[in-house]
Amino acid sequence: MALLDVANKVITNYHTADIQNNVFTKPWATFETGGWDPLEVKVRTFLSSKETAFLVCGGDETNGHVTIHRQSDAAALGWVNGLTFFPHSLEYLPAQEAVIVVGPRGLDSLDPKPPQATRSGGQYELFTAPTKDGSRSFQKVTGIADKDRAFRQAHGVVWDDTRKWVWIYGGNKLRPYTVSGFRETTRLHKIRDPKFPNDPNKCLELVSDAFENGHDLQPDPLERQYLWATSSDEIIQINKAGGVPVIQWHIAAKAPKSFSRDRSGTGIWTSDSHDNSYGDEFVRFIWDAKYQKAEVKADKGKPTPILYKARLLDI
pLDDT, one tens digit for every residue, the chain (315 residues): 999 999 999 999 999 888 999 999 999 999 999 999 999 999 999 998 999 999 999 999 999 999 999 999 999 999 999 999 999 999 999 999 999 999 999 988 776 666 555 678 999 999 999 998 888 999 999 999 999 999 999 999 999 999 999 999 999 999 999 999 999 999 999 999 988 888 888 999 999 988 888 999 999 999 999 999 999 999 999 999 988 899 999 999 999 999 999 999 999 999 999 988 899 999 999 999 889 999 999 999 999 999 999 999 888
282 assigned to some structural domain: no
Q: What is the pLDDT of residue 116?
A: 55
CB-based contacts of 16, cutoff 8 Å, min separation 6: 1, 291
What is the Cα–Cα distance from 261 to 79, expressed in whole angstroms? 29
280 assigned to some structural domain: no
Range of the domain at 248: 2-272+303-311
168 assigned to some structural domain: yes
Gyration radius (Cα) of the chain, Å: 19
The DSSP bridge partners found for residue 246 are 239
298 assigned to some structural domain: no
112 assigned to some structural domain: yes
**pTM recorded for the entire structure:** 0.96
What is the Cα–Cα distance from 151 to 135, expressed in whole angstroms? 28
Q: What is the pLDDT of residue 108?
A: 83
How many C-alpha atoms does 313 have within 13 Å on its Cβ side? 19
Enter the DSSP assignment of 131: B
CATH code of 24's domain: 2.120.10.30
281 assigned to some structural domain: no
162 assigned to some structural domain: yes
Q: What is the pLDDT of residue 213?
A: 86
Task: Name the domain count of the chain.
Answer: 1
Burial-class residue 280 by CB neighbours within 10 Å (0-12, 13-18, 19+).
Answer: buried
Angle CA 64–233–63, to nearest 5 = 5
297 assigned to some structural domain: no
CA 88 from chain centre, in angstroms, equals: 6
CB-based contacts of 228, cutoff 8 Å, min separation 6: 216, 217, 218, 219, 220, 235, 236, 237, 238, 259, 260, 261, 267
Q: What is the pLDDT of residue 199?
A: 87
Give yes or no for a contact between 53 and 71, defined as CB atoms under 8 angstroms apart.
yes
